[in-house]
Amino acid sequence: MIQIEVNNRQVEANKGELLLTAIRRAGIKVPTLCHFEGLPPSGACRLCVVEMDGRLAPSCATTVSEGMKCQTHSAKAVRARKTIIELLLADHPDDCLYCVRNGNCDLQTLAEEYGVRTRRYQGEKSSCHLDVSSPALERDPAKCILCGKCVRVCEEIQNVSAIDFVGRGSKTRIETAFNDGLNMSSCVFCGQCIKVCPTGALREKSSTKEVLEAIADPDKYVVVQHAPAISVSIGEAFGLKPGVECSGPLNGALRRIGFDKVFDTSFTADLTIMEEGAEFVSRFKNKGKLPMITSCSPGWVKYAEQFYPDMLDNLSSCKSPQQMMGAVIKNYFAEKSNIDPKKIFSVSVMPCIAKKFEVTRDEMLNDGVPDIDAVITTRELVRLMKMRGLDLNSIEPEPADNPLSLKTGAGKIFATSGGVMEAALRSAYFLLTGKELDSLDIKVVRGLEGRKEAKININGTEVGIAVVSGLKNASDLLDEIRAGRSDLHFIEIMACPGGCINGGGQPIGVTPEAVAARMKSLYSIDKNEKYRASHLNPDIQKLYKDYLGEPLGHKSHKLLHTHYAKRDVVK
Amino acid sequence: MSVIEKIISQLSNPGRDSLIPVLQAVQEEEGFISRESVIEIGKALDLPASKIYGVATFYNQFRFTPYGKWNIQVCRGTACHVKGSAALLSRIERELGIGAGETTKDGFFSIEIVSCIGACGLAPVIAVNGNFHARVTPDDVPVILKHYRSIQPEESKQ
Ligand code: SF4
Ligand code: SF4
Ligand code: SF4
Ligand code: FES
Ligand code: FES
């Protein structure tokens, strides 16, 4: 511990830490635009400047030292920040009223906080093209302030590098290679860049309009499913504490919006486990391709197709729970309820941007009918609810609809990194031994670390497992396997760091603490569920008995499994 | 061996730091940096295409399209600048509908920005395939372009 002086008060700081960190710990707010927690400072925006001995220094790039003195809000520092904001606004469209980030934009907030009331600088605005080429993500470079955070998350966390700074000086932009647009690029549509963008320059391709049109169409039977991550995340947008479980009110809200049926994707997470567990056991017993790698994260799947095409046989052939639900709705449910599948408009609410891409994959059509018709993110659902005047706090809890909603704890924890592995092991253990695990809690795979590994003993055989999230972590592990590592049998990979609870479609401005709270909530739901392993779900058992037959059977194969192919992109 | 393989094989310690020399050598050899080159360089130096494109667009010297039949070099040196080369350049760009570093769709003209070409007394200067034009005003541009449109490069004295 060392002593520094901030605004004439003594403040304790840890040796070697950034001045910004110490200042913030002391409860003083210094704004940042380019600072990226956990990555080395880039010093691009200069918004975090503080005055030290009459000079201005960026606090995000200054290491504390004993006796250091700074003023965070001296006239000079405040003036410098205000000027930077004004200059940013000089090259910014006056578009707040129409902007997806209105009310939730760092630039807008700063302009307000620093009292910008007039346009002091009239700049020539850079002319830019919207990039709407992809099925998942839109880029509006006119609103970009060149903070570089998207470039960093894409390169340093996701190891994709679809975008970079292009050009120089006043012509600098964030672009894909050759300005091709995201669709041609190596972008995997994880949406992590949207979450770090301080402005409306990056956003999801919205599908709320199609959804509302379908609801208004009397000929359409509109069903919705919500992913296991949604109920523990959406409350934050309505002022609830992070992690508060809201399935009940969420079901009610979706009915009020006008959906004819509300299903819970946790149910088909259980179904995924039945298929994937059986697939693992079959590969394990019959010396099939190992390690088997999960395939429920479409950003990861696209990444594999682009960067690890040699390992596609390692991917489980299981569709994701979203796609399984889509297929089950338009086949089993349609048949059972006597509804023409062509009349069904199937919507999913997902924490994910890549899910929007996943539904457009050719493999996700069944005899020409798409499994899912529209995907909306958590953020879009919040917008729909606000549009309809719905407040989660004042909606009575309602159950989701049978027969596609009964979930187990295993299905629910799919939303977190480690959850798919834990759920799969609970059922794989049963399939291999005929017995239930002594303790269903497999704690070694829990937590927010980027990589978790363990050896699990099943009937005397040691099974090597690994769980990674964030694609940089994934590629590090895959490189070890390419280089010959052979002690792993089963790997869970999720594109987003921490899994779906930190997905690219989740509310903007989540803190790591909020993500941890969501995770905790999932495990406590799991703990309290009547059934905690997928194979014990009575409605899943019924679905197999009445319709599917058995895991990996003929019907499952047609409806619930898919395949992958090498994907050529500019990379 | 491809051009790029050859260039890289001549480096003592090829790696990320060799990017700019490699780009220069490729442009020297092929006249411009093609899409295929960027991708091949990326594979060879383990760099993403977006990064290479970003670096290459940062420097004025690199072009991403081959030269046109007529390459118009516009001097942006100090003397020419003082004599109005900025307005001249933008007139040429407007007449041709392309920017500096680009080539017209029909492949006839390309524009290249150069720094002082040693003819400051004649500022502002442009050179079309080596033919100098002195004290060019923006209004001269249509006439000059019309002249080159009507002849083939071989017919002119270089
Ligand atoms: S990005 Fe922010 S400042 Fe810019 S228009 Fe949108 S809300 Fe306004
Ligand atoms: S969505 Fe993911 S892969 Fe695509 S640009 Fe953003 S961070 Fe990169
Ligand atoms: S798009 Fe957003 S995150 Fe990326 S540089 Fe621009 S403002 Fe920053
Ligand atoms: S936050 Fe410190 S320079 Fe941007
Ligand atoms: S500055 Fe143009 S020729 Fe010297």
pTM of the model: 0.92
Residue A169: predicted pLDDT: 87
Task: Please answer yes or no on whether B57 and A177 come within 8 Å at the CB atom.
Answer: no
Geometric angle at alpha carbon B83, from B82 and B89, rounded to 5°? 100
Q: Specify whether B39 is located in the same domain as B81.
A: no
Answer whether A440's CB lies under 8 Å from A412's CB: no
Q: Which residues of A are catalytic?
A: 276, 279, 296, 316, 355, 358, 363, 500
Nearest Cα residue in chain B from A176: B50
Nearest Cα residue in chain A from B65: A178
| Tokens, residue B43 | 């594979």
Instruction: Encode pLDDT of B14-39 as tens digits.
Output: 888 899 999 999 999 998 999 999 99
Instruction: Encode pLDDT of A96-151 as tens digits.
Output: 999 999 999 999 999 999 999 988 887 777 667 899 999 999 999 999 999 999 99
Give the mutation candidate from A151, A185, A188, A571 for the B interface (greatest B CB count, under 10 A): A571
**Residue-level length of chain B:** 158
- For chain A, give every residue range classified as CATH 3.10.20.740: 1-123
Dist CA A41 CA B126 (whole Å): 44
The DSSP code for A309 is G
| Upstream peptide bond of A135 is cis (omega within 30 degrees of 0) | no
Residue A422: predicted pLDDT: 97
Answer whether A292's CB lies under 8 Å from A493's CB: no
Q: Among A468, A466, A465, A472, which Cα is nearest to A448's?
A: A468
**d(CA B24, ligand 5 centre) in Å:** 23
What count of other Cβ atoms lies within 10 Å of the Cβ of residue B21?
Answer: 14
Nearest Cα residue in chain A from B52: A177
Q: Specify whether B77 is located in the same domain as B102.
A: yes
Residues with CB under 6 A from ligand 4: A 32-35, 43-48, 58, 60
Q: Specify whether B24 is located in the same domain as B79.
A: no
**d(CA A33, ligand 1 centre) in Å:** 14
**d(CA A158, ligand 3 centre) in Å:** 16
| Tokens, residue B141 | 């541009």
Residue B158: predicted pLDDT: 42
Task: Match domain A1-123 to its CATH number in 1.10.10.10, 3.10.20.740, 2.50.20.10, 3.30.70.20.
Answer: 3.10.20.740
Beta-carbon-side half-sphere exposure of residue A53 (alpha carbons within 13 Å): 2
Instruction: State the DSSP string of B13-64.
Output: S-SGGGHHHHHHHHHHHHSS--HHHHHHHHHHHT--HHHHHHHHHHSTT--S
Task: Please answer yes or no on whether B53 and A178 come within 8 Å at the CB atom.
Answer: yes
| Contacts of B61 by beta carbon, 8 Å cutoff, 6+ apart | B24, B27
Instruction: Encode pLDDT of A200-259 as tens digits.
Output: 999 999 999 999 999 999 999 999 999 999 999 999 999 999 999 999 999 999 999 999
Q: Which helix (H) or strand (E) holds A526?
A: helix A512-528
Task: Please answer yes or no on whether B50 and A162 come within 8 Å at the CB atom.
Answer: yes
Instruction: Encode pLDDT of A498-544 as tens digits.
Output: 999 999 999 999 899 999 999 999 999 999 999 999 999 999 999 99
Say which residue the tokens 């509310």 belong to.
A507
| Contacts of A65 by beta carbon, 8 Å cutoff, 6+ apart | A2, A4
Phi (first) and psi of residue A207, to 5 degrees: -120, 15
Answer whether A464's CB lies under 8 Å from A488's CB: yes
Nearest Cα residue in chain B from A160: B48
| Contacts of A188 by beta carbon, 8 Å cutoff, 6+ apart | A158, A160, A162, A299, A300, A302, A303, A306, A354, A471, A495
Nearest ligand 5 atom to alpha carbon B76:
2
Residue B154: predicted pLDDT: 66
Answer whether B116's CB lies under 8 Å from B75's CB: yes
Residue B9: which domain range? 3-58
Q: Which ligand has its closest atom nearest to the C-alpha of A50?
A: 4
Strand partners, B73: B112, B127
A315 pLDDT band, cuts 50/70/90, is: very high
A137-205 domain in CATH 3.30.70.20? yes
Dist CA B10 CA A430 (whole Å): 60
- A148 CB near ligand 3 (under 6 Å): yes
User: Chain B closest CA to A18's CA: distance in Å?
Assistant: 29
Which residues in chain B touch residue A155, judged by CB atoms under 8 angstroms apart?
48, 51
| Region A59-80 average pLDDT | 96
Mean of pLDDT over chain B: 91
**d(CA B131, ligand 2 centre) in Å:** 48
Q: Which ligand has its closest atom nearest to the C-alpha of A35?
A: 4
Which residues in chain A touch residue B35, judged by CB atoms under 8 angstroms apart?
178, 570
Phi (first) and psi of residue B92, to 5 degrees: -60, -45
- A194 CB near ligand 3 (under 6 Å): no
Q: Which amino acid is at B77?
A: G
**d(CA A105, ligand 1 centre) in Å:** 6
Q: Specify whether B147 is located in the same domain as B78.
A: yes
Q: Which ligand has its closest atom nearest to the C-alpha of A23?
A: 4
**CB-nearest partner of A164 from B35, B54, B59:** B54
Geometric angle at alpha carbon A411, from A505 and A306, rounded to 5°? 50
Residue A70: predicted pLDDT: 97
Residues with CB under 6 A from ligand 2: A 137, 153-154, 158, 160, 162-163, 187-193
Q: Among B128, B124, B120, B121, which Cα is nearest to B149's?
A: B128
For residue A488, the SS3 value is coil
ipTM of the complex, rounded to two decimals: 0.88
CA distance to B63, B75, B77, B80, B95, per residue, from B126 (Å): 18, 6, 11, 9, 15
Say which residue the tokens 């005397």 belong to.
A460
Question: CB contacts < 8 Å between A and B, how many?
Answer: 51
Bridge pairing between strands A461-469 and A451-458:
antiparallel
| Tokens, residue A68 | 């250091």
User: Chain A closest CA to B42's CA: distance in Å?
Assistant: 8
**CB-nearest partner of B53 from A160, A166, A186:** A166
Q: Specify whether B106 is located in the same domain as B139.
A: yes
For residue B29, tell me if it sits in a domain: yes
For residue A167, the SS3 value is coil
Q: Specify whether B26 is located in the same domain as B48.
A: yes
B157 pLDDT band, cuts 50/70/90, is: very low
Nearest Cα residue in chain B from A155: B48
Answer whether A80's CB lies under 8 Å from A46's CB: yes
Q: Specify whether B75 is located in the same domain as B147.
A: yes
Give the mutation candidate from B37, B41, B45, B50 for the A interface (greatest A CB count, under 10 A): B50
Q: Which ligand has its closest atom nearest to the C-alpha of B73?
A: 5
Residue A216, burial from CB neighbour count under 10 angstroms (0-12, 13-18, 19+): exposed
Phi (first) and psi of residue A50, to 5 degrees: -130, 160
**Residue-level length of chain A:** 571
Instruction: Encode pLDDT of A324-369 as tens digits.
Output: 999 999 999 999 999 999 999 999 999 999 999 999 999 898 888 8
Dist CA A130 CA A127 (whole Å): 10
Task: Please answer yes or no on whether A177 and B50 come within 8 Å at the CB atom.
Answer: yes
Task: Please answer yes or no on whether B53 and A186 come within 8 Å at the CB atom.
Answer: no
| Region A405-433 average pLDDT | 96
The topology (CATH level 3) of A209-560 is Fe-only Hydrogenase (Larger Subunit); Chain L, domain 3 (3.40.950)
Answer whether A398's CB lies under 8 Å from A248's CB: yes
Q: Specify whether B49 is located in the same domain as B86.
A: no
Nearest ligand 1 atom to alpha carbon A89:
3
Q: Specify whether B75 is located in the same domain as B153.
A: yes
The DSSP code for A226 is E
**CB-nearest partner of A571 from B48, B54, B58:** B48
Instruction: Encode pLDDT of B75-109 as tens digits.
Output: 999 999 999 999 999 999 999 999 988 999 999 99
User: Chain B closest CA to A439's CA: distance in Å?
Assistant: 46
Number of domains forming the structure of chain B = 2
Task: Please answer yes or no on whether A176 and B51 come within 8 Å at the CB atom.
Answer: no
Q: Specify whether B78 is located in the same domain as B137.
A: yes
- For chain A, give every residue range classified as CATH 3.30.70.20: 137-205
| Tokens, residue B75 | 């001097």
Instruction: Encode pLDDT of A11-52 as tens digits.
Output: 999 999 999 999 999 999 999 999 998 899 998 999 999 999
| Tokens, residue A36 | 């990226």
| Tokens, residue B100 | 């500096």
**CB-nearest partner of A167 from B50, B52, B57:** B57
Task: Please answer yes or no on whether B42 and A167 come within 8 Å at the CB atom.
Answer: no
What count of other Cβ atoms lies within 10 Å of the Cβ of residue A36?
Answer: 18
The DSSP code for A171 is G
**CB-nearest partner of A164 from B50, B59, B64:** B50
Q: Among A291, A290, A533, A526, which Cα is nearest to A435's?
A: A533
Q: Specify whether B87 is located in the same domain as B51.
A: no
Q: Which helix (H) or strand (E) holds A175?
A: strand A173-176
Q: Specify whether B35 is located in the same domain as B80.
A: no
